[in-house]
Amino acid sequence: MNTAQVSERALLLAPLGRDAAVAGGMLAEAGIESVACGSVPELLELLNGGVGFVIVTEEALANADLHALSGWINAQQEWSDLPFVLLTRRGGGLERNPSAARFLGVLGNVTFLERPFHPTTLISVAQSSLRARRRQYEARLRLQELSDLTLSLEERVRTASKEREAALAQLHEAQKLETLGQLTGGVAHDFNNLLTPITGVLDLLNRRFGGGDPRTERLIGGALESAERARTLVQRLLGFARRQALQTRPIDLAALMEGMRDLIASSVGPSIEVQLRCTASLPAAMVDPNQLELAVLNLCVNARDAMPEGGVLTLSAEAAVLTTGEMPDVAPGQYLRLSVADTGTGMDAETLQRAVEPFYSTKEIGKGTGLGLSMVHGLASQLGGGFRLRSTPGEGTCVDLWLPVAADAAVSFRTHDAALLEPTRPLSILLVDDEPLVRTATAEMLRELGHSVREAAAGADALAVLPGLACDIVVTDYKMPRMDGAELAERIKLLDTRLPVLLITGYTGAADLSADLPRLDKPFRRAELHAAINRALEGRVDTVAALRA
């Protein structure tokens, strides 16, 4: 028997009756070598010569001294966990076989096989044990290779260990972000559902009572501002935690940057001077404003960390032309260049080369994920633009983003002014939402706009009343039990292809929403709801997030 056969042989400890002969014959038919043992001491002697797994009968262990066997099992090397197959007459459950607990404690890695058994069962258990043992041998080989490497190349091992620790730290960060993404993606729907009635009702109260009492207007305005900040917080949290589908539209870049001035100033601190420089009469940029804000904020925070003693942070925007080959993987043409420059410590050539790598960071552990620049780079690529990083040690760093120019004029994305509420004819609206608070608040906003509203708590309820209802538009929630908003829209389309459907959703990671449905993100205010309905009636499928704060 060669070494491989010895290492995979089965040892049979079944001194009574014909169990050893029968089991050995079954194993032989399956091509598995086996050796019978007459006692526990003989088994121990053969164990030291190599073994794949052990088949032992309950009777062979019942009255035997198992201290030596237990000692051998406990002394196994770290790679080894020898499989045992214990043949019993009462199964392995403690209810039927109280002694099983003793054998389990002694043998450790044990599979109970109740007699009588079919040959196929024994062979299946034996082959499973062999496969497990082979994996242990593979682990031994890898450990041996590592040991050899340690003996001959200690310095390389230390380097490899450091790299492994860094990789595990990166993996840990990735797992945290993935967990955060799963958590926020699930919670966002409920959180936005909570915000929707708060925002909507505050908006109605502000309209009815705010103008007559400055104190009331101030208090309601503060509450609305807090609600808007909560909505922005959810969006940014999702932006850090997971990739979101971009909602691009023509944006005034200078207005976006000016709107961020206070946020940037509070983020970088009083020791850093913030300067905004935008060329006059810039064309609109085709971007996702929320994601671009997040990217700019990331760059500003990086700049702050590079200026621990203070300095100057300059944000600038200007028109630029890219020629063929000037930026790899970026088409030539007209762009807007957004630059974020600091007067900080700068980066050496090696750091600059690796700065955009995911998880690469020069900050202390716990001070950053190393995802900031890679996220900004990815956003620029997603938008169809370009990214460039320039830095000089001791002089500072500048990040340039080339953003595509929009064909249309810029639209506002922060306006909640009453001017948005252009007069419209009264509509008959079917409102579908499974959340009573959200449904009530939305219905009140619609009635405040002059529309008549029929409410339904589920998709099935809506389909039941729709045939007898003179309806101009259906406004439905997306995430609902049994039938979601997209499914409801498909069913409505079968009944009346001309009836528009507006989808409202609190689930911000909406990659799975129907692309051909107008959409309004929760939480929303009366002006946004009004504009969304107008767009849906006009047959427009672009999102109304252009009106979002």
Q: What is the pLDDT of residues 62-73, one digit of tens each?
A: 888 888 999 999
Strand partners, 503: 476, 519
Which residues of the chain fall below pLDDT 50?
240-243, 359, 364-371, 415-421, 510-511, 540-549
Q: Say if pTM beats, i.e. exceeds, 0.85.
A: no
Predicted confidence at residue 130, as pLDDT, reads 92
What are the strands of the beta sheet with 501-505, ordered from one edge?
452-456, 428-432, 473-477, 501-505, 519-521
Q: How much of the chain is helix, strand and coil, in % rounded to 5?
A: 50, 20, 35
421 close to 450: Cβ distance less than 8 angstroms: no
Topology (CATH level 3) of domain 253-404: Heat Shock Protein 90 (3.30.565)
Predicted confidence at residue 356, as pLDDT, reads 65
Predicted confidence at residue 198, as pLDDT, reads 84
Q: How many CB atoms lie within 10 A of CB 86?
A: 24
Q: How many CB atoms lie within 10 A of CB 193?
A: 21
Pick from 118, 9, 115, 125: which is nearest to 59 by CA? 115
Distance CA(5)–CA(223), nearest Å, equals 77
Chain segment 6-20, per-residue pLDDT in tens = 688 999 998 888 888
Distance CA(330)–CA(324), nearest Å, equals 8
Tokens found for residue 462 = 């809506």
The residues, any chain, with a CB within 8 Å of residue 433's CB and separated by 6 or more, are 439, 442, 455, 457, 476, 477, 480, 504
Q: Does domain 3-151 have CATH number 1.10.760.10?
A: no
Pick from 355, 392, 361: which is nearest to 377 by CA? 355
H/E segment holding residue 19: helix 19-29
Pick from 361, 351, 334: which is nearest to 389 by CA? 351
DSSP-derived letter for residue 115 is S
Predicted confidence at residue 168, as pLDDT, reads 79
Assess whether the region 3-151 and the region 418-547 belong to the same CATH fold: yes
Tokens found for residue 495 = 């009944």
Tokens found for residue 231 = 């909505």
The full DSSP string for 248-307 is: -EEE-HHHHHHHTHHHHHHHH-TTEEEEEEE-TTPPPEEE-HHHHHHHHHHHHHHHHHH-
79 close to 140: Cβ distance less than 8 angstroms: yes
Domain assignments of the chain as residue spans, ordered by start: 3-151, 184-241, 253-404, 418-547
The full DSSP string for 324-355 is: TTTSTT---EEEEEEEEEE-S----HHHHHHT
The CATH code for residues 418-547 is 3.40.50.2300
320 close to 287: Cβ distance less than 8 angstroms: no
Predicted confidence at residue 513, as pLDDT, reads 54
Chain segment 86-105, per-residue pLDDT in tens = 988 776 555 666 666 777 78
Predicted confidence at residue 184, as pLDDT, reads 59
